[in-house]
């Protein structure tokens, strides 16, 4: 008999808020994770936080509306387990805890404000680990709106990790702290020399879009040269031209260039020539974590 469960995962990021509902089916020899629904709302909490230090009432209202909508959608899908995680913007907002309390009151959804280290671990467990070779080292880089999470995985285990205040929304608002770029490049250079990484595993909507623009097939790698050529090309267009001429979405047309700058700087500093793009993120990792807990509880109940 097939065991199945509906799981919901929410990512409250600096650039967007995402909901993934997955139908997880367990068979004797495999477990399938099937996307039932995915919703993305580009609220951009980071615009407030990285400029004024707090989330404004207007953005709070939009966030609460989104979470109320997510709550209704999850109930309609019969979600049995869910987790909502907030990252950089909510971590840094002076009123982050207050906003989380209002969300719980209005939507019934409890928010966990997680660390950059946990964020990176969830992303790697999203299935990105299935695309790397055993015995090699890889640098996982997740570029968000407010921060960039970097982790080194060697022989399948996390060896080092660090969070940097480099994010696409933060860069667009010119709120990157002095010295942050230098620290980022120096640390990546040290990682390259210490681990000799085979590739960078890139996470986030921007590098997913890069792979699509380059017409990459599933699991086909992006080279540093391809990324650099596309970056130089996109920079020749204005924000409006990227929307009208290149057909990029309004929420992607501005952030994709700073995201590519981060990925290029990382590869150059660590002397890595390829990017693996698993097209999975935090919400995928949350789904897998929740299913692992669900399966363990079922097994205990059956024993």
Write out the residue range of the structural domain in which residue 68 sits. 3-115
> pLDDT per residue over 44-84, tens digit each?
999 989 888 999 999 999 999 999 999 999 999 999 999 99
In a domain, 122, yes or no: no
- Both 209 and 272 in a single domain? yes
What is the predicted pLDDT for the residue at 128? 64
The answer on pLDDT for 213 being more than 70 is: yes
- Both 153 and 247 in a single domain? yes
> pLDDT per residue over 233-275, tens digit each?
999 999 999 999 999 999 999 999 999 999 999 999 999 999 9
What is the predicted pLDDT for the residue at 280? 83
Structurally, the chain folds into a number of domains equal to: 2
Close Cβ partners of 262 (under 8 Å, ≥ 6 residues apart): 141, 143, 148, 166, 168, 184
Q: What is the CATH number of the domain that holds 83?
A: 3.30.420.40
- Both 274 and 166 in a single domain? yes
State the DSSP H helix or E strand holding residue 251, giving kind and residue range, or none if neither: helix 250-253
The answer on pLDDT for 99 being more than 60 is: yes
In a domain, 248, yes or no: yes
CA distance 42 to 14: 9
What is the predicted pLDDT for the residue at 155? 81
In a domain, 301, yes or no: no
In order, the DSSP letters of 30-54 are -EEEEEEEEEEE---THHHHHHHSS
CA distance 222 to 209: 12
pLDDT confidence band for 153 (50 / 70 / 90) = confident
What is the predicted pLDDT for the residue at 73? 98
pLDDT, the chain, mean: 92
What is the predicted pLDDT for the residue at 127? 67
Q: Which two tokens stand for residue 241?
A: 């031209």
- Both 275 and 137 in a single domain? yes
pTM: 0.87
- Both 54 and 138 in a single domain? no
């Amino acid at each position: 008999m097939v065991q199945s469960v509906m799981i919901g995962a929410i990512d409250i990021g600096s650039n967007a808020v995402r909901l993934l509902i997955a139908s997880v089916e367990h068979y004797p020899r495999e477990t399938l994770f099937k996307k039932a629904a995915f919703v993305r709302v580009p609220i951009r909490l980071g615009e407030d936080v990285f400029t004024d230090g707090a989330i404004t009432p207007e953005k709070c209202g939009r966030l609460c509306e989104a979470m109320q909508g997510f709550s209704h959608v999850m109930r309609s899908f019969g979600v049995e387990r869910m987790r909502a995680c907030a990252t950089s913007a909510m971590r840094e907002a002076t009123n982050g805890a207050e906003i989380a309390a209002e969300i719980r009151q209005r939507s019934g959804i409890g928010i966990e404000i997680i660390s950059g280290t946990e964020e990176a671990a969830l992303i790697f467990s999203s299935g990105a680990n299935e695309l790397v070779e055993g015995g090699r080292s890889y640098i996982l880089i997740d570029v968000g709106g407010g921060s960039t999470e970097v982790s080194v995985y060697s022989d399948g285990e996390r060896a080092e990790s660090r969070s940097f205040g480099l994010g696409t929304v933060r860069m667009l608002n010119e709120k990157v702290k002095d010295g942050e770029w230098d620290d980022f490049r120096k640390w990546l250079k040290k990682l390259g020399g210490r681990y000799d990484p085979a590739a960078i595993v890139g996470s986030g909507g921007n590098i997913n879009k890069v792979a699509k623009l380059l017409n990459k097939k599933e699991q086909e790698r992006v080279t540093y040269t391809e990324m650099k050529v596309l970056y130089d090309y996109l920079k020749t267009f204005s924000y409006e031209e990227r929307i009208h001429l290149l057909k990029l979405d309004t929420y992607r047309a501005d952030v994709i260039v700073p995201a590519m700058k981060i990925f290029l700087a990382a590869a150059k500093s660590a002397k890595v020539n390829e990017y693996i793009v698993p097209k999975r993120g935090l919400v995928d990792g949350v789904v897998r974590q929740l299913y692992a807990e669900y399966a363990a509880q079922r097994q205990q109940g059956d024993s």
